[in-house]
Structure 1
């Protein structure tokens, strides 16, 4: 057998034996997610994801019990998930990540509560109400080594993924020279 082929085979088997390769074959435990607030309508996306099995909603911080009851009934989730405050929910459920679906004014407070606990945070767009808030959030994320994400929920649409594959991976059309987007509304009013 030629030497380059032997080296290639040796590398292949070494990679298969590596911990990184083995970890990709193990089942991944569902991500433990907490929800901070239910007032942003994109919360329906995460509530409907609970049935897929790749996440488990461990707690919901929502002071408005009537709103929580309505949404949890709609998605078949127990009211035992609901806590009156973010701090209580974080202490009792210890999520790996928190999704913020409350007022944009609350985003900084969510990051301030989660970052020191090393809990990753996803907030709805826009990230913050001011540059000062955004800078504080970024500093906390950097200091505590957490991921701080802004959810652009249309990026999760299967149709957008398929369009990306057609254009970028399959080269089904030529180079894109211009992109025009039409949004459903002017954004949140707070």
Structure 2
């Protein structure tokens, strides 16, 4: 009897482990986003199996097929065709931002989970439709930000919560690069990045979303009181239809955030400065964090910390997606990937766009 019990337990453990090791069947919606190389060129891991790709541009698909080695047999001309043939568990969207809504509209009723590249949507209206579909059909809807992989940002948040620099009073978050055309993105990527209908705006959406996402996370889901934004177009020859520089001021009861998304930085950057009552934290990149603590009027101590990349599965967005779906990872409330965070981030972005167009401060309810 004891032997039989041991055999049954062993079989159950084997089945459980086998189920955990079953790779996530991942579909790809679109190949025009420049970040698609993250999945196409991803080193082999047992957690993900790319089973299908939807892309209407056969020439682009063929070029990427030759570059990354995937078979054109898994490339389909429509989303429905890909979903029916490949039967993915989840879909990662790598087309224009406007298409995020149509991806969720196609996937959610079939119970297929979705991860989109930042930002969640081109508008708050689209985001609300996506949220309603995700909730109705019980799917995970994640948004991927590069800064979600930065160990320095997580350490900065931890130090802030420990009271290392006192209460937060001001945050300055700067993101961007020289501009899509100047850094040489593909023509397919450039076409929609500089289209206000397909991208929702220019730099204000493309890079403003990082700061909106991080502030919502740092403030634990608290909405700002007001949003004021100013945009400029400093490269009309390269970005004729959208802004390429923005400054967004966000106010809270006890703090203020200044977001500086731009396609005019001479050097690409994604950094964050947090100023508290007694010191400051400088998250300079993915691996370097400086801590300054006040010792007088202008004197301070300074310490520089260096970190390795985030631990598994947080070092890879597709590993995060797989872990969330298989239940081995529960994301923190208002964490950067979460829908609840990104709905508030979209409120901030929508208010930013509205403010920049009207010249008025937008007060959030």
TM-score band by shorter chain is 0.7 to 0.9
Normalised TM-score (structure 2): 0.41
Q: Quick check: 1:87 aligned with 2:77?
A: no
> What stretches of structure 1 of length at least 5 have no aligned partner?
1-16
Question: Are 2:21 and 2:46, in contact at CA under 8 Å, matched by a contact in 1?
Answer: no
Q: How does 1:112-131 map to 2 (within 5 A)?
A: 112-131=105-124
The change in CA–CA distance for 1:162 and 1:29 in structure 2 (over 3 A counts) is farther
Distance 1:29 1:125, change over 3 A: same
CA-atom RMSD in angstroms: 3.2
Q: 1:5-55 CA distances to partner (integer Å, 9 max, x unpaired)?
A: xxxxxxxxxxxx9x89x9469752111100000111111111122622321
The alignment's TM-score, normalised by the length of structure 1, stands at 0.75
Structure 2: which 5+ residue stretches go unaligned?
1-9, 181-192, 196-365
C-alpha contact 1:49 1:55 (8 A) present in aligned 2: no
Alpha-carbon separation, structure 2, partners of 1:80 and 1:143: 33
| Corresponding residue of 2:175 | 183
Cα distance, 1:25–1:161 mapped onto 2, change above 3 Å: farther
Stretch moving more, 127-136 or 90-99 = 127-136
Q: 2:142 aligns with which of 143, 149, 162?
A: 149
Q: Distance in 2 between matches of 1:182 and 1:83?
A: 38
**TM alignment of 1:70-85, pairs within 5 A:** 70-85=63-78
The answer on 1:168 being equivalent to 2:177 is no
CA distance in 2, matches of 1:98, 1:137: 14
Q: Do structure 1's residue 42 and structure 2's residue 51 form an aligned pair?
A: no
Q: Please give the alpha-carbon distance, in whole angstroms, between the structure 1 residues aligned to 2:142 and 2:194.
A: 21
CA offset digits 1:64-123 (Å, max 9, x no partner): 111111112211111111101111000000000001111111111110000000000111
Q: Distance in 1 between matches of 2:176 and 2:68?
A: 25
Q: Give, in angstroms, the shift of residue 148 of structure 1.
A: 0.9
Give the secondary-structure state (helix, strand or coil) at the position aligned to 2:121. Answer: coil
The secondary structure found in structure 1 opposite 2:125 is: helix
Q: How far apart in 2 are the matches of 1:35 and 1:50?
A: 16
Paired residue for 1:137, among 109, 130, 135?
130
8 Å Cα contact 2:88-2:112 kept in structure 1: yes
- Asked if the contact 2:92/2:114 (under 8 Å) is kept, the reply is yes
Q: Which has the higher helix share?
A: 1
Higher relative contact order (Cα pairs below 8 Å, separated by 6+ residues): 2
Aligned pair count?
168
